[in-house]
C-alpha cells in the first residue's frame, strides 16, 4: 500500500513566514510529511517551477444573502464556492444575515440549508446582527458561539441594518465574554444621508455621485468612534473593507497603542477609482459599492498600509448583484445612485489581483501574500493551524500557482453567476492552476472536479487574544468605580 495518498513534488512552498523547495506528502486529507524527497505516493503531482501555497481563505463574501432592501446576491453556495475554488481558495466564510425581527436561530438554520447541500469548499459563517434584542444577546449569540460561529458583523450605517453606539457596546461586551471577534462596516450614517439628500435634491443622481455621497470623512469618523467604543470595553474589533488613508491611519495608530484593532481592505480599493463610476448611464452602477471607490492617492496610501502591516486581511467583499433587473437595475433601467444595490463581485480574482499587483510588481513578498490571503484569516477566525498554513497535521488545503501565467479576464470569464466583472480587461499575472482541498484535487486547470455538498461546516475556535494586554478603564473596574459591577 502507498505510504501517501498524494505527493506534491518539487514545488516552491511558501507559508506566511518561510519559502522553501520541498515534497509534500498527504495522507487521509492531512499534510503528513514535508521533505526534500518523498516517494511512495498513490498519486503524484509535479509542481516544479510553481508555488505551492496554503489554500486561500475568503473571509468576506455575501453568498445567497438577502440585503435589507430585498435584493438577493446572485451566487448560491455552489456557484460562489466554485468561483472561489478557481481563485485558489479552499475555505469560505460568508455572512449569515439577521434582518430586524428575525431570530438568529432561524437565520442559521436557513443558511445551513443554503450551504450544506451546495458548497464545494469548507465553510463557516459570520453572523450579521441588526437586531440585538435581549433574546439575541443572552440566548441566541451564546448558542451560535457554542456552534463555533465565533465572529459577527455589525453595520454603523444603512437605516435598516445600523446598530446604534449603545447597541454596539452591548455586542462588543457579549463578544468579549465569549471570545468572539466583532467585525464592523464603519461609515457615519448621518453624514451619508446628509450628502445623499443634497445631491438628489440638486438632481445629481448618476452613479458617480455615489462616491461623492459617501465621503472619506464618514469612514474616518466611524473608524475612530469604533476604536473608542471597542477600547472602552476592551473588546477586539475588525474594520472590514477599509477604503481611506485616514481610516487606515487610525487602525495603525490603535495597533501601535496595543489595542485589539484589526483591518481589512479589498482589491477594488487598490485597483479601481471613483472615475470607474463615471460611465454612461447606467453602466456606472456596476461600480457602486460601499464604502465607495476613491482616488489614486488613496490607492498609493493603502498599498503603503498593506506593506507596513496595518491590514491583516485582503478580502473580496464579493457582493454579486447582476447587471440586470435581478440586481443592479432592480429599481429601473437608469436608477438613481441611492437605489442601486451596493457591491461588486470578486471572489475569484481576489488572490490573483494581489499576486499580480502585489507579488509580481515587487510591492509585497510571497509570504505577505500568504498571510493576507490565508494565514491571518485562519488565525483571526479560529481556524489555525488546521487551515491557513502548510505544516504537518494541517488539512491538505493548497493551491498550486503559476507565477508567470498571464490572463486578461473578460466580463464572463469567471465561474460565478455574474454577467460582468469589474476587473475585466486588466492584465493579471500569476494564477492558481490547481486547487486541493483536504487532499482532493478539486480544480485542475479549467476542470472542476468537486461535487456539490462536499464542503464541510467548520466549527471555529474562539478569538485568540494572546499578546494583547487586557486594559479596563477605571470606570469599569469595581476597585476604582466605588464597587459598581458593570461588566
Ligand atoms: O457595497 C458593499 N460592500 N456591499 C456589501 C455589503 C457590505 O457592506 O459589505
Ligand atoms: Zn460592509
Ligand atoms: Zn461586505
pLDDT tens digit at each of 487 positions of the chain: 789 999 999 999 999 999 999 999 999 999 999 999 999 999 999 999 999 999 999 999 999 999 988 899 999 999 999 999 999 999 999 999 999 999 999 999 999 999 999 999 999 999 999 999 999 999 999 999 999 999 999 999 999 999 999 999 999 999 999 999 999 999 999 999 999 999 999 999 999 999 999 999 999 999 999 999 999 999 999 999 999 999 999 999 999 999 999 999 999 999 999 999 999 989 999 999 999 999 999 999 999 999 999 999 999 999 999 999 999 999 999 999 999 999 999 999 999 999 999 999 999 999 999 999 999 999 999 999 999 999 999 999 999 999 999 999 999 999 999 999 999 999 999 999 999 999 999 999 999 999 999 999 999 999 999 999 988 999 999 999 999 999 9
Going by alpha carbons, the residue nearest to atom 4 of ligand 1 is 343
Which-ligand-closest: CA of 183?
Answer: 2
The number of the ligand nearest the C-alpha atom of 239 reads 2
User: What ligand 1 atom has the least distance to the C-alpha of 240?
Assistant: 9
- 200 close to 192: Cβ distance less than 8 angstroms: no
Return the exposure string of 445-467: e unless at least 16 CB atoms fall within 10 Å of the residue's CB, then b.
eeeeebeeebbbbbebeebeeee
CA of 113 to the centre of ligand 1 (A): 23
Beta bridge partners of 25: 7, 33
All three cell numbers of 190: 448621518
Q: CA torsion 117→118→124→129, rounded to 10°?
A: -90
Whose CA is closest to atom 2 on ligand 1?
Answer: 343
- Give residue 401 CA to ligand 2 midpoint distance, Å: 30
Domain 56-380 classified CATH 3.20.20.140? Answer: yes
Question: The pTM is what?
Answer: 0.98
Distance separating alpha carbons of residues 428 and 315, to the nearest angstrom: 17
Q: Which residue ranges have their beta carbon within 6 Å of ligand 1?
A: 62, 185, 289-290, 317, 319, 342-343
Ligand 3 centroid – CA 60 distance (Å): 6
Q: Domain ranges in the chain? A: 4-54+390-448, 56-380
Report the C-alpha gap between 191 and 228 in whole angstroms. Answer: 19
User: Among residues 353, 325, 362, 354, which one has the least CA distance to residue 341?
Assistant: 325
Count of residues for the chain?
A: 487
Asked whether the beta carbons of 21 and 12 are under 8 A apart, the reply is yes
Question: Cell digits for 219?
Answer: 469612514
Ligand 2 mean position to 218 CA, how many Å? 14
Question: Which CATH superfamily is 4-54+390-448 part of?
Answer: Urease, subunit C, domain 1 (2.30.40.10)
Amino acid at each position: 500500500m502507498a505510504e501517501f495518498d498524494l505527493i506534491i513534488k518539487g514545488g516552491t512552498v511558501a507559508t506566511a513566514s518561510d519559502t522553501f523547495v520541498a515534497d509534500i506528502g498527504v495522507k487521509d486529507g492531512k499534510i503528513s510529511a514535508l521533505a526534500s524527497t518523498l516517494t511512495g505516493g498513490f498519486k503524484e503531482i509535479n509542481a516544479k517551477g510553481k508555488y505551492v501555497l496554503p489554500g486561500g481563505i475568503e473571509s468576506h463574501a455575501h453568498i445567497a444573502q438577502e440585503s435589507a432592501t430585498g435584493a438577493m446576491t446572485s451566487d448560491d453556495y455552489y456557484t460562489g464556492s466554485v468561483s472561489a475554488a478557481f481563485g485558489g481558495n479552499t475555505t469560505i466564510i460568508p455572512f449569515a444575515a439577521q434582518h430586524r425581527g428575525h431570530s438568529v436561530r432561524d437565520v442559521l438554520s436557513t443558511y445551513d440549508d443554503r450551504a450544506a447541500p451546495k458548497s464545494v469548499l469548507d465553510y463557516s459563517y459570520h453572523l450579521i446582527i441588526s437586531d440585538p434584542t435581549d433574546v439575541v444577546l443572552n440566548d441566541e449569540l451564546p448558542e451560535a458561539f457554542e456552534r463555533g460561529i465565533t465572529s459577527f458583523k455589525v453595520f454603523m450605517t444603512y437605516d435598516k441594518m445600523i446598530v446604534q453606539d449603545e447597541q454596539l457596546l452591548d455586542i462588543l461586551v457579549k463578544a468579549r465574554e465569549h471570545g468572539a471577534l466583532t467585525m464592523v462596516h464603519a461609515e457615519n450614517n448621518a453624514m451619508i444621508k446628509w450628502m445623499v439628500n443634497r445631491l438628489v435634491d440638486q438632481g445629481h443622481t448618476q452613479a458617480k455621485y455615489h462616491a461623492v455621497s459617501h465621503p472619506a470623512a464618514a469612514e474616518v469618523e466611524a473608524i475612530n468612534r469604533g476604536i473608542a467604543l471597542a477600547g472602552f470595553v476592551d473588546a477586539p474589533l475588525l474594520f472590514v473593507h477599509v477604503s481611506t488613508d485616514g481610516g487606515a491611519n487610525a487602525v495603525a495608530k490603535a495597533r501601535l497603542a496595543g489595542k485589539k484593532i484589526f483591518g481589512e481592505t479589498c482589491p477594488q480599493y487598490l485597483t479601481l477609482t471613483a472615475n470607474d463610476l463615471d460611465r454612461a448611464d447606467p453602466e456606472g452602477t456596476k461600480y457602486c459599492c460601499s464604502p465607495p471607490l476613491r482616488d489614486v492617492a488613496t490607492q498609493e496610501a493603502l498599498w503603503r498600509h498593506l506593506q507596513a502591516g496595518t491590514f491583516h486581511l485582503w478580502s473580496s467583499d464579493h457582493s454579486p448583484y447582476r447587471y440586470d433587473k435581478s440586481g443592479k437595475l432592480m429599481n429601473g433601467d437608469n436608477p438613481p445612485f441611492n437605489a442601486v444595490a451596493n457591491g461588486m463581485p470578486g471572489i475569484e480574482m481576489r488572490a490573483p489581483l494581489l499576486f499580480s499587483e502585489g507579488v509580481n510588481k515587487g510591492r509585497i513578498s510571497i509570504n505577505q501574500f500568504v498571510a493576507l490571503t490565508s494565514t491571518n484569516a485562519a488565525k483571526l477566525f479560529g481556524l489555525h493551524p488546521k487551515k491557513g498554513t502548510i505544516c504537518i497535521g494541517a488539512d491538505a488545503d493548497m493551491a498550486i500557482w503559476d507565477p508567470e501565467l498571464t490572463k486578461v479576464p473578460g466580463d464572463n470569464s469567471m465561474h460565478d453567476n455574474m454577467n460582468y466583472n469589474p476587473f475585466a480587461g486588466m492584465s493579471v499575472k500569476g494564477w492558481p492552476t490547481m486547487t486541493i482541498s483536504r487532499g482532493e484535487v478539486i480544480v485542475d486547470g479549467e476542470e472542476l472536479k468537486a461535487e456539490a455538498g462536499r464542503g464541510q461546516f467548520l466549527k471555529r475556535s474562539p478569538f485568540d487574544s494572546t499578546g494583547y494586554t487586557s486594559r479596563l478603564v477605571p470606570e469599569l473596574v469595581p476597585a476604582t468605580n466605588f464597587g459598581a459591577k458593570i461588566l
